[in-house]
Amino acid sequence: MKKGLLITGGILLFVFILFYNFGGLDVYLLNKMNTSTLPGKYKRYHDINTSELIVFGHHEIKLLGESFEPIQSFISSEGDVIVVTSEIPKDRNQKEVEEDATMGGTRFYQDFHFYKLDRDGNVKDHYVYKRTRGNWNELLFGEFIVNYEKKYYKTWIKDGDTIRKPMVVQNEDLKWSREEQLNLYHKITEDATDYFRESKSGPEEQITYYMNGKWYQLRTNTRLSDRSYHSGRNPGYRNNLFGEAFWGDRQPDPNRYPNIMPVYFQRKELDESTSSASGGSISTTSKSWDGDLYCQVLIKGDTLNFKKAMSFNENFTTEKFYNAKGEEIRKLKTELEQQYSPYFYFSDKNLNFQLFTTDSKKLYIIKIVK
């Protein structure tokens, strides 16, 4: 009898261990044991993922724009803040738009909105570019809007003009000698304000560049250098006032946001996910704590208290975040900003407003309440 009970107990223990390790029982039990209650001082924090106006002290924050693609921004030489958002159009042939969505890769059918903000954060001008498969390359390039496929540019950023202006095309018939092409190429790399080199078919390339107040495009059919591509900047895609961290740089300035402090992480649910095996590798399973990150932003004596959804995986990039709970997250501020970039903030002494976001496809503006 006793032997039978021992065998039965052993089997039950084995089944328990099996389910605990492989059947998700550990996740179930940990969720049941997660009885942490949010302290009262954090219950009035604002959910930042809202389109409603939030007032804090003498300041207010509101959603400036949402976008299908990451929002771009920069300050022009005129002192205006340029913001670019995009959306899937509703006023086009919807069949074409829907077919475009099913083809994967780039969504060609988009409306790009260019906003020009004055020093007080008011929209002083607005331009819309309707992208299609036939005309899809109108990009920010320095302080111009450039289409290097259609060989035109616009000066809207400088003067509000949206008229297409033709570039000066050089060696269009590809009859220049190799020496002529190389001489101009070297002059471009040394003297051009901005340039973009693009490979075409075979040995052909085209270089779009701005020099001495004019836009040019040089066509070549000779080897220019050992490098197949170079640009003075990456035109059209990576313009942003929040810096390289906005595009995934994991080594940002550790003290770039001294006025922002993560103060609490509220665990809500433990989740387990399995990554599928590929290339002969073994599938792996990992756990993540899903919850809310509570933060404070100090702006000229006022404090914005906000929360945002956050998830910490036990394997990315360290267990520190996964194991942190409650106010322990405060000690990880620098590493949190470097590894997760949970928020972005921008201010300038010449502007009477600040920009803020927790999402690359949303942008918030902070102003003094009038």
Same domain for 347 and 332: yes
- Give the pLDDT band of residue 100 (cuts 50, 70, 90): confident
Residue 15 is assigned to a structural domain of this protein: no
Q: Count structural domains, the chain.
A: 3
Same domain for 329 and 230: no
Whole-model pTM: value is 0.84
What average pLDDT score do residues 207-235 get?
A: 77
Cα-trace Rg, the chain: 27
| pLDDT for residue 4 | 54
| pLDDT for residue 245 | 61
Q: Which domain holds residue 110?
A: 72-133
- What is the tens place of the pLDDT at every residue in 78-92? 999 999 999 999 888
Same domain for 347 and 254: yes
Residue 66 is assigned to a structural domain of this protein: no
Task: Specify the higher pLDDT residue, 98 or 284.
Answer: 98
Task: Specify the higher pLDDT residue, 104 or 157.
Answer: 157
Question: Which range, of 24-33, 159-168, 173-182, 273-282, averages the lowest pLDDT?
Answer: 24-33
Q: What share of the chain in percent tops pLDDT 90?
A: 59
Domain boundary among 133, 162, 180: 133
Mean of the per-residue pLDDT values of the chain: 85
- Give the pLDDT band of residue 233 (cuts 50, 70, 90): very low
Residue 96 is assigned to a structural domain of this protein: yes
Residue 330 is assigned to a structural domain of this protein: yes
Same domain for 341 and 301: yes
DSSP state of 103: T
Between CA 31 and CA 41, with CA 37 as vertex, the angle to 5 degrees is 150
Is the pLDDT score of 310 beyond 90?
yes
Is the pLDDT score of 337 beyond 60?
yes
Residue 18 is assigned to a structural domain of this protein: no
Residue 228 is assigned to a structural domain of this protein: yes
Same domain for 332 and 257: yes
- What is the tens place of the pLDDT at every residue in 252-264? 566 789 999 999 9
Same domain for 230 and 217: yes
Same domain for 362 and 254: yes
CA atoms of 241 and 171, how far apart (whole Å) = 37
Residue closest to 182 by CA, chosen among 196, 171, 166: 171
Same domain for 209 and 146: yes
Residues 6+ apart with CB under 8 A from 312: 265, 288, 289, 321, 322, 324
Is the pLDDT score of 234 beyond 60?
no
Is the pLDDT score of 12 beyond 70?
no
Between CA 177 and CA 180, with CA 233 as vertex, the angle to 5 degrees is 10
Same domain for 145 and 113: no
- What is the tens place of the pLDDT at every residue in 161-215? 999 999 999 999 999 999 999 999 999 999 998 888 888 877 888 999 999 999 9
Q: What share of the chain in percent tops pLDDT 70?
A: 81
Residue closest to 139 by CA, chosen among 165, 114, 119: 114
Residue 329 is assigned to a structural domain of this protein: yes
